A and B are shown apart, each in its own frame.
Chain A
């Protein structure tokens, strides 16, 4: 790599801005996706995947157990704000319970806070 040349207008001159809390970033991220209806399994996938740089950095820094505990904590607060309509042939998801597959069954959502949708 070539040495830095400060008079080069395209030289990277950015520096870290002080402050900020990675735990807060992670919690906000989990909350937003929970409020959008993402399942625990998909949320974990997002943290595990290196493509999602911010989430994955937290996963590497704090580990899988930390992320799982964080998701569980946010779930205790927000429950399952949306229910999911899953096509039965989607292979990555376990067989849905009767009444929720391909239908807008509200049964699973009314027990929210305690009962996750079947895809989890």
Chain B
């Protein structure tokens, strides 16, 4: 089996196909600290792409409450359990070697990926391409069951409560996890497809299923560790997030010919989402692009981390981790970069504070930003260290080099009178 380099794991790994990389890669950053679970992203996607017959249980964008929830149910717990059992059989452990360096920002993963674990697993049908499972139909049907909703109450006659139903509460920590296809560098769906119906576009790294070639074997549904390939019974083929590719291509009339962010990103009322395109070098590394906001957040400041990097698909979605959650849970979910990411987010650098302001300032993809320095407006201490805030101005530029956004660190909050609260 060919070997490919996975920079998130800091090492080479086995993958069914040799390395080939796109010129640009679709990538995004979600700030989990600010999500309020309004589900506007979910509905924006649903109303754009999956409102048809046979797509009723299909949510390309979903938002789940961790640690209780998941869509499909328990997707990550199930796969982690399978991966854990594979490690036990192999006498290995899912550990990281901490030494960081060039091309290995999180150290080196010493455990097995889903591709490597599959090679050690023998079934009746032989090896899988990637360790995985096929969720049952009912696991897809209720995307937020038991998360923030009532499960049951003691009802009177006819099941109606005299006092009104009371919602059960989680008595512990929780946070919201936003999920779309990660358009992985090494997609497990693509690796598993027996028809070679799945491909990664050379121009932007978006992973698509060729609807003509697909025969609905569901190998992709089984293999995708994030469970973002879904089967549609009415057409008998599988479907997945298409990254709103007409917008990424700049074909939406609103975008004036330049790449535009996806629907789920553009509608985020909590301003937690920023999406972009990062330049990829011929060797698959992210090309140095210091003033691309995604590059800055992931590679320079390293406050945004991949979801379950140990699966080995090199996902291109990155998360600023929720800082109140117990660290062992976060390290399992986002890898060993968690402690540094939280430390940097808690006391943001001058540049980071400005870049965080770019979230949801424009629908156009920002390819470059520029900061104009402003006056110092506040001084304090954070965790015993001095910290200052500057009212800098950050300017975002689109692919054509035109100004797309301009915002200050002290961007004002506008409070509308009640009669105009929903007007634009």
A interface list, Cβ under 8 A from B? 1, 9-10, 12, 14, 16-22, 24-25, 27-29, 32, 36-38, 53-54, 57, 76-79, 81-87, 89-91, 93, 104, 106, 109-110, 112-113, 119
Which of B170-178, B195-203, B250-258 participates in binding chain A? B170-178
The CA-CA distance from A119 to B413 in the complex, in Å, is 12
Least CB distance from B319 to A in Å reads 15
Least CB distance from A86 to B in Å reads 5
Chain A residues near B68 (CB-CB < 8 A): 14
Contact partner of A17 among B138, B324, B329, B417, CB < 8 A?
B329
Least CB distance from A79 to B in Å reads 5
Chain B residues near A14 (CB-CB < 8 A): 68, 146
Least CB distance from A14 to B in Å reads 5
Complex contact B145–A85 (CB within 8 A): no
Least CB distance from A104 to B in Å reads 6
Instruction: Please give me the residue from chain A that is nearest to B416 by CB atom.
Output: A87
Chain A residues near B415 (CB-CB < 8 A): 84-87, 90, 93, 119
Instruction: Please give me the residue from chain B that is nearest to A91 by CB atom.
Output: B418
Complex contact A84–B413 (CB within 8 A): yes
Interface residues of B in 156-175 (CB under 8 A from A): 167, 169-174
Instruction: Please give me the residue from chain B that is nearest to A52 by CB atom.
Output: B36
B interface list, Cβ under 8 A from A? 33-34, 67-68, 136, 138-139, 142, 145-146, 148, 151-155, 167, 169-174, 322-326, 328-329, 377-382, 389, 409-420
7 more A-B residue pairs beyond the given contacts A78-B380, A82-B412, with a C-beta to C-beta distance below 8 A: A9-B139, A10-B145, A20-B325, A28-B33, A77-B382, A83-B412, A85-B412
Complex contact A81–B412 (CB within 8 A): no
Complex contact A25–B173 (CB within 8 A): yes
Complex contact B413–A37 (CB within 8 A): yes
Chain A residues near B152 (CB-CB < 8 A): 1
Least CB distance from B172 to A in Å reads 5
Chain A residues near B413 (CB-CB < 8 A): 36-38, 82-85
Instruction: Please give me the residue from chain B that is nearest to A76 by CB atom.
Output: B380
Instruction: Please give me the residue from chain A that is nearest to B142 by CB atom.
Output: A10
Sorted nearest first, the 7 A-B pairs with minimum C-beta distance are: A19-B326, A20-B173, A37-B413, A87-B417, A28-B324, A25-B324, A89-B417
Chain A residues near B419 (CB-CB < 8 A): 89
Complex contact A10–B138 (CB within 8 A): yes
Chain B residues near A25 (CB-CB < 8 A): 173, 324
Instruction: Please give me the residue from chain B that is nearest to A89 by CB atom.
Output: B417
Instruction: Please give me the residue from chain A that is nearest to B66 by CB atom.
Output: A17
17 A/B residue pairs, CB under 8 Å, sorted by A: A12-B146, A16-B170, A19-B173, A20-B172, A25-B173, A25-B324, A28-B324, A53-B148, A53-B170, A76-B380, A77-B380, A82-B411, A84-B413, A85-B414, A89-B417, A90-B415, A90-B417
With a 10 A CB-CB cut-off, give which of A20, A36, A106, A112 has the most chain B CB atoms. A20
Chain B residues near A28 (CB-CB < 8 A): 33, 322-324
Least CB distance from B388 to A in Å reads 11
Least CB distance from A119 to B in Å reads 7
The CA-CA distance from A56 to B350 in the complex, in Å, is 33
Chain B residues near A119 (CB-CB < 8 A): 415
Least CB distance from B411 to A in Å reads 6
Instruction: Please give me the residue from chain B that is nearest to A103 by CB atom.
Output: B412
The CA-CA distance from A114 to B134 in the complex, in Å, is 58
Complex contact B378–A81 (CB within 8 A): yes
The CA-CA distance from A66 to B377 in the complex, in Å, is 29
With A84-B415, A119-B415 already in contact, the answer to whether A113 and B172 are too (CB < 8 A) is no
Complex contact B171–A16 (CB within 8 A): yes
With A12-B146, A17-B172, A19-B328 already in contact, the answer to whether A81 and B410 are too (CB < 8 A) is yes
Instruction: Please give me the residue from chain A that is nearest to B326 by CB atom.
Output: A19
Chain B residues near A83 (CB-CB < 8 A): 410, 412-413
Complex contact A90–B418 (CB within 8 A): yes
Instruction: Please give me the residue from chain A that is nearest to B141 by CB atom.
Output: A10
Instruction: Please give me the residue from chain B that is nearest to A9 by CB atom.
Output: B138
Instruction: Please give me the residue from chain A that is nearest to B137 by CB atom.
Output: A9
The CA-CA distance from A84 to B414 in the complex, in Å, is 6
The CA-CA distance from A76 to B412 in the complex, in Å, is 20
Chain A residues near B142 (CB-CB < 8 A): 10
Complex contact A9–B380 (CB within 8 A): no
Complex contact B172–A109 (CB within 8 A): no
Contact partner of B389 among A76, A81, A93, CB < 8 A?
A81
Chain A residues near B33 (CB-CB < 8 A): 28, 32
The CA-CA distance from A77 to B379 in the complex, in Å, is 9
Chain A residues near B34 (CB-CB < 8 A): 32, 36
Instruction: Please give me the residue from chain B that is nearest to A38 by CB atom.
Output: B413
Least CB distance from B180 to A in Å reads 23
